[in-house]
Amino acid sequence: MEELLGNIYCWFESIFGQYLAEHLWGYNCETLMYQRNLFNVIGLITIGISFVLVLAYYYLPLFLFNHPRSNRWWNWLIILLIAGIFNFFVAYGWTINDFLNGNIGDCLMYTRDSEGNIISQLIYKKDCWLFGLSNFFVSAMFFIAWSLIFKWWSRNCKYSPF
Amino acid sequence: MKIIIQQTLIILFSTVLFLTACGNNRKSKNGITPANDEFVDTMTGTSVKPIVNVYIENSSSMDGYVKGVTEFEQAVYNYLTDIKISKFTDSLNLNYINSDIIPQGSDIEDFIEKLEPDNFRVRGGNRGTSDISNILKSVLSETQENEVAILVTDGIFSPGKGKDAAQYLVNQQIGIKNSMAEYLKLYPNTAVILYRLSSKFDGYYYNREDSRTYLRSQRPFFIWLIGPIEQLSNLRTAVSESKFKGSGVQNTFSITTGNKEINYAVKLGSGKFKLDMKSPKNAIKNLKKDTKGKHKSARFSVNADLSGFLLNDDYLNDNSNYDISSKDFIVTVSKAVSPFTHQLNLSSDNVHKGIVSIKLKTQIPPWVEAINDNDGSVPLEGKTYGIKYQIEGIYEAFTFSNDFYTELKIYIN
Amino acid sequence: MLKSLTMLLAAGVECGVDTIVPIIIDRDMSNKDLSRTILLIEDYIDVNRIADTKGKNKFFKTKIELLNNELCLQLKDNTQKFSDFIGKSTMSPENQALVEMLFSNETLELDMTAGFQGNPNIGSVVLNQFDDSDIFKAFATNFSKGDKIFIISSIFGGTGASGFPLLRKILHTPNVKGSDGQDLPNWGLVNDALIGAISVLPYFMVGSATDNSLVNSDTFIDKSKAALSYYKTEDKKLDTFYYIADKRTTTYDHHKGGDEQKNDAHFVELASALAILDFVNPDKEKSNIHRNAEKKINYTTYKEFGMNADVAEINFNDLVDETKKLLINPLSRFMLFRNYMTMVFDKESKYQPYARKRFNNDFRKNETIKKLEAVQAQFYNWLQEMEKQNRRFSPFNLTTLSAFDFVKGDVSINESKDFMYKNWAKVDNELNSQIGKMDKALKNEQCFIELFYSTTEELINYKN
């Protein structure tokens, strides 16, 4: 159960890289153990945001949400995109912050030879962007799932997007 | 509409900033390395200096090493001096040994000056025989807790005239094994290091029948170090083999008790697998074969700290000293990054599931066989009569319960 | 006028009875107005079948029934010329001379298929053969205790003016026999039934004759006066007698009959229809009906229609409160319903949950729904026509695209509860809300009409 969210993110591991994935799993280069599972943290935020926006879209009486003129499929899609972009930045922001502040363990950042010289770099800034992108997809998945579950009681948007 | 978008944007960015501020700020910690001038017991963390007792065999066969100024004297003098300088010990006791132990005080210079055949004769004891088993037994009985014994000997057995030499060697071996085993019961953390050195020899060589021949050539001699593992490790650090004067250390044999727990961990990224989250140091899952490269094999590496066994790289880098439970796997050894010393690289053509056990075997190095003189009738260049049996005796004592220094178990799911 | 009544009933105006049986007596069968009215009523009857939802729905709620499935009391004889009808050619020379004295030559030569063209004297002769018709028999057969009778006639016309007193007389004649010589059934009930009438006085003129028509609107007033003096004899023969007229007139194109006689709807017709509703209103019984213990009429109540002001353009504010309250909600709701169907439904039904899987593309092809929309179209035309008159009834802005701003005058028809939803979105929102409250057992068409009634009732609620 604890690994459920991480396993979902790992469908996209080939996009953002194995080493950033290990960092997010919480691998600590000193203790060589897994500690804080960041997939759970970021995943819960993503689930939460998409959940809130799904509820808002279907139930909040405000233009753009639960309104007879915003029950077209593309209105739903816009909200999905908003959630996705927000979650993109959550994921990107978190990882780039760790990257820039040296919070990512050395054994995950670089391969070193026996003298301690860097042979190659394992995690780059672009991986943080790509993780953001992966989170966008994860967000979309959850958005669709929440929509399927919760849309049925919506007055105006019940059949949006289908 | 516009206001809503603005508000939404504000919320979005402030939340991102808030979240990004919640990252962990873990800085990497540096390891602690002991300072050179203070010897810390790495096991207990205490800094108690050991007592060092030096025993030089003064039987007749040793006379050839001490006539005049020889490499033997240089090596021993230099070694003891280095020990003193390094402040490894505050208490260095010098002795002659044959059938008895004859104390010679603590003045190294005086001691070395007096290393002459005449003095050997004078100092007493029964110089006629070299009962190595007894010598060792005496040394062990004098070596208490936190004491280091340094025994310098030519290592040549002398069964005597009319004796069954082969039987004698075996008996000596058993005797040595017995003494060592008893000592290990009292002090299980004991290690033994044996240096083989070489020196000019000018004197009589006594063969297995005790008949002597005059010899003037390079002959090997041995320095045994016996004591607690940590102290021997410290001693080696303080005065390494490279510091030996003269011809230097030709070969080294070391042994400690086995089946020790060490720090090891599977190396992340050393192959196509995932670390088990609950037990990432020694369990992996989803091991797959490489998809790139000519030779597609399933690989993983284990970093291990093999520094606690007093073994040198020659031994540790030799694949044949490792025993893998699954014959599918082959192992190679390379250097690792701190806090580990060595990286064991395993690879297999098949994907294996289950437990893979890697044992660092306790073995006698091949050079022992090479420099052993099994015959003992004439002096063979570079060889020592029966040295193998001494080493095997020690070996058998140490490997009585187990024959491996440590075992690494990796679980593959 | 029947058209106006039908429109009011379609809109769901309160009616004190649950069934109305209209019978049109006219010789001019091809009168275009009549044809339109017949079609309207047939459409209404079809829609009425889905109107009984056991819910809130009031649109088309009152039943309209046709006796023998016929609206018109067909006068048997198809003889066309008046002289043939009275059989002048078979008369004795003395009788022929009498006839020639009583009736002008034009009158005798009159082709009566187009009605009596403003000659009540002919009509009275011809229409005496009422009791022979099948409809009359059906009328008698289906008559029950408690049924009421209301006669509508125009005083200045031909058919209407002449037929009214005759009809009333027959209804009060005991033991009338049918064409087979038998007593008409239930005739005692007919005799004793509550009876009201409206006589519509002149409210329009006709232009100059384009063909050999004898209709002349200059004579309307004179003819009215003549008829009114005769109607004095109706006193105490009717429970309630309604009069309506309008001095402010519009001039219609002159067509004596046939499919060219197509007069635009007029507010007077609407007001006349209100007379019917007034008569059948159980709350009004005390003021309308005055019978003694023997069920004989003590005296007749006379009523005229009044408004707040004599204005050329009437909207709801110009009507007295009672009329306003009666009309404003039903007409506005029906108007909203019609507007939604014409302006919004096509586009929004694809997206709105209320329509999903129920009111899809094929829904509008359903016969009943087509008729409902036909009635709505006619409703709109009816309002348009009334707007063109000199005395315009123009309560609504008929060209607006707005959902709620169509009621003219300072009339507030709804409270804005949900400021989030505006204009048509507000209607869609309400539709989506109401659909969840619909009885699942209702058929699609019934659900449709109930839904729209509930929605318009929620959105349009004039109080005060």
pLDDT digits (tens, 9 = 90+) for C48-94: 998 888 888 999 999 999 888 888 876 655 566 777 767 777 888 88
Average pLDDT across each block of 10 residues of chain C; the chain has 464 residues. List them in order. 92 90 74 82 93 89 88 65 74 83 77 61 60 75 90 76 81 81 85 90 71 63 74 85 82 60 82 92 89 88 88 89 90 94 91 89 89 94 91 91 86 68 90 92 92 93 78
Q: Which residues contact C258 (CB under 8 A, 6 or more apart)?
A: C28, C30, C31, C32, C113, C114
Tell me how far CA of residue C154 lies from CA of A113, B231, C136, in angstroms. Answer: 114, 134, 21
CB atoms B269 and A36 under 8 Å? no
Phi, psi of A34 (to 5 degrees): -95, 130
Q: CB of A2 within 8 Å of any CB in chain C?
A: no
B162 sits in the region (left: phi over 0; alpha: psi -120 to 50; else beta) called: left
At B27, list the tokens. 């800085």
**Angle subtended at Cα C74 by Cα C71 and Cα C78, rounded to the nearest 5 degrees:** 150
- Pairwise CA distance, residues B75 & B200, whole Å: 11
- Pairwise CA distance, residues C88 & C94, whole Å: 11
- Pairwise CA distance, residues B78 & B84, whole Å: 10
How confident is the model at residue C415, as a pLDDT?
A: 59
B280 contact residues in A (CB cutoff 8 A): 27, 32-34
DSSP B141-152: HH--TTEEEEEE
- Pairwise CA distance, residues B190 & B403, whole Å: 16
B27 contact residues in A (CB cutoff 8 A): 102
Among candidates C252, C277, C218, which has minimal Cα distance to C389?
Answer: C252
Chain-centroid distance of CA C343 in Å reads 28
- Pairwise CA distance, residues B287 & C339, whole Å: 70
Crossing angle of the two packed helices C367-388 and C32-51, in degrees rounded to 10 = 130
* Chain A to chain B Cβ contacts (< 8 Å): 72
Compute, in degrees rounded to 10, the torsion defined by CA atoms B263, B268, B271, B272. Answer: 130
Among candidates B200, B204, B227, which has minimal Cα distance to B215?
Answer: B204
A116 contact residues in B (CB cutoff 8 A): 337-338
Peptide bond preceding B117: is omega within 30 degrees of 0, i.e. cis?
Answer: no
Other Cβ atoms less than 10 A from the Cβ of B100: the count is 12
Neighbouring chains to A with at least 3 Cβ pairs closer than 8 Å: B, C
| Chain A CA closest to residue B303 | A32
Q: Is residue A61 scored above 80 in pLDDT?
A: no
| Chain B CA closest to residue A26 | B277
CB B116 within 8 A of CB B159: no
Q: How far is C429 from chain A (nearest CA, A)?
A: 6
| Chain B CA closest to residue A93 | B20
CB atoms A156 and C352 under 8 Å? yes
A26 sits in the region (left: phi over 0; alpha: psi -120 to 50; else beta) called: left
Residue type, C231: Y
At B278, list the tokens. 């609950």
- Pairwise CA distance, residues C264 & C281, whole Å: 28
Tell me which residue in B17, B25, B277 faces A34 most closely, judged by beta carbons: B277
CB atoms B275 and A103 under 8 Å? no
CB atoms C351 and A159 under 8 Å? yes
| Chain C CA closest to residue A160 | C351
Longest alpha-carbon distance in chain A: 68
B24 contact residues in A (CB cutoff 8 A): 36, 98, 103
C359 contact residues in A (CB cutoff 8 A): none
B17 contact residues in A (CB cutoff 8 A): 93
Q: Which residues contact A46 (CB under 8 A, 6 or more apart)?
A: A87, A90, A91, A135, A138, A139, A142
Among candidates A8, A4, A2, which has minimal Cα distance to A91?
Answer: A8
| Chain B CA closest to residue A25 | B277
CB B205 within 8 A of CB B61: yes
How confident is the model at residue B37, as a pLDDT?
A: 43
Tell me which residue in A155, A159, A160 faces C433 most closely, judged by beta carbons: A155
Q: What is the DSSP letter of C236?
A: T
CB atoms B268 and A27 under 8 Å? yes
Neighbouring chains to B with at least 3 Cβ pairs closer than 8 Å: A
Q: How far is C352 from chain A (nearest CA, A)?
A: 7
Q: CB of B4 within 8 Å of any CB in chain A?
A: yes
Peptide bond preceding C330: is omega within 30 degrees of 0, i.e. cis?
Answer: no
- Pairwise CA distance, residues B232 & C10, whole Å: 112
Tell me which residue in A29, A33, A94 faces B23 most closely, judged by beta carbons: A94
Exposed, middle or buried: residue A95 (CB in 10 Å: 0-12, 13-18, 19+)?
buried
CB atoms A159 and C353 under 8 Å? yes
At C378, list the tokens. 């006619």
Q: CB of B5 within 8 Å of any CB in chain A?
A: no
- Pairwise CA distance, residues B191 & A20, whole Å: 44
Tell me which residue in A72, A156, A160 faces C429 most closely, judged by beta carbons: A156
Query: Are B and A touching by the rule of 3+ CB pairs within 8 Å?
Result: yes
How confident is the model at residue C252, as a pLDDT?
A: 66
Chain A, 65 to 94: residues with Cβ < 8 Å from chain C are: 67-69, 71-72
Q: Where are the beta strands (DSSP E) in C281-353?
A: 301-304, 313-314
| Chain B CA closest to residue A38 | B23
At C63, list the tokens. 């039943």
B350 sits in the region (left: phi over 0; alpha: psi -120 to 50; else beta) called: beta
Q: How far is B24 from chain A (nearest CA, A)?
A: 6
pTM: 0.76
- For range A43-70, the mean pLDDT: 89
A32 contact residues in B (CB cutoff 8 A): 265, 280-281
Q: How far is B297 from chain A (nearest CA, A)?
A: 19
CB C154 within 8 A of CB C200: yes
Residue B219: strand pairing partners: B199
- Pairwise CA distance, residues C368 & B14, whole Å: 58
CB atoms B28 and A112 under 8 Å? no
B265 contact residues in A (CB cutoff 8 A): 32
- Pairwise CA distance, residues C384 & C386, whole Å: 5
Residue position matching structure tokens 């009044």? C306
Q: How far is C460 from chain A (nearest CA, A)?
A: 19
Q: Enumerate chain A positions whose Cβ falls within 8 A of a Cβ in B.
A: 2-3, 18-19, 22, 25, 27-30, 32-34, 36, 45, 62-64, 82, 86, 89-90, 93-94, 96-98, 101-103, 105-108, 111-114, 116, 122
CB atoms A157 and C418 under 8 Å? no
Coil, strand or helix at B312: coil
At C384, list the tokens. 């348009």
A22 contact residues in B (CB cutoff 8 A): 268, 275
Q: Is residue A98 scored above 80 in pLDDT?
A: yes
Radius of gyration of chain C (CA): 24
How confident is the model at residue B41, as a pLDDT?
A: 47
CB atoms A68 and C348 under 8 Å? yes
CB atoms B20 and A97 under 8 Å? yes
- Pairwise CA distance, residues C234 & C219, whole Å: 23
Average pLDDT across each block of 10 residues of chain B; the chain has 413 residues. List them in order. 41 42 36 41 62 90 86 90 91 88 87 79 70 91 93 86 85 94 94 94 87 90 94 92 86 91 91 90 90 82 91 90 90 88 91 90 92 88 91 94 92 91
Q: How far is A143 from chain B (nearest CA, A)?
A: 17
How confident is the model at residue B266, as a pLDDT?
A: 93
| Chain A CA closest to residue B280 | A33
What long-range pairs does B291-297 form, CB within 8 A, spacing at least 24? B297/B347, B297/B348, B297/B349
Other Cβ atoms less than 10 A from the Cβ of B218: the count is 12
Among candidates A19, A107, A99, which has minimal Cα distance to B274?
Answer: A19
Q: CB of A159 within 8 Å of any CB in chain C?
A: yes
What long-range pairs does C314-321 form, CB within 8 A, spacing at least 24? C314/C267, C314/C391, C314/C392, C314/C393, C314/C394, C314/C395, C315/C394, C315/C395, C315/C407, C315/C408, C315/C409, C315/C411, C316/C395, C316/C407, C316/C408, C316/C409, C316/C411, C317/C409, C317/C410, C317/C411, C318/C409
CB atoms A114 and B268 under 8 Å? no
CB C346 within 8 A of CB C424: no
A25 contact residues in B (CB cutoff 8 A): 277
Residue position matching structure tokens 């660092």? B360
Q: Which residues contact B58 (CB under 8 A, 6 or more apart)?
A: B96, B97, B98, B102, B120, B123, B125, B127
Helix segments in C65-210, DSSP class H? 82-85, 93-102, 105-108, 120-126, 134-141, 159-171, 187-192
C348 contact residues in A (CB cutoff 8 A): 68
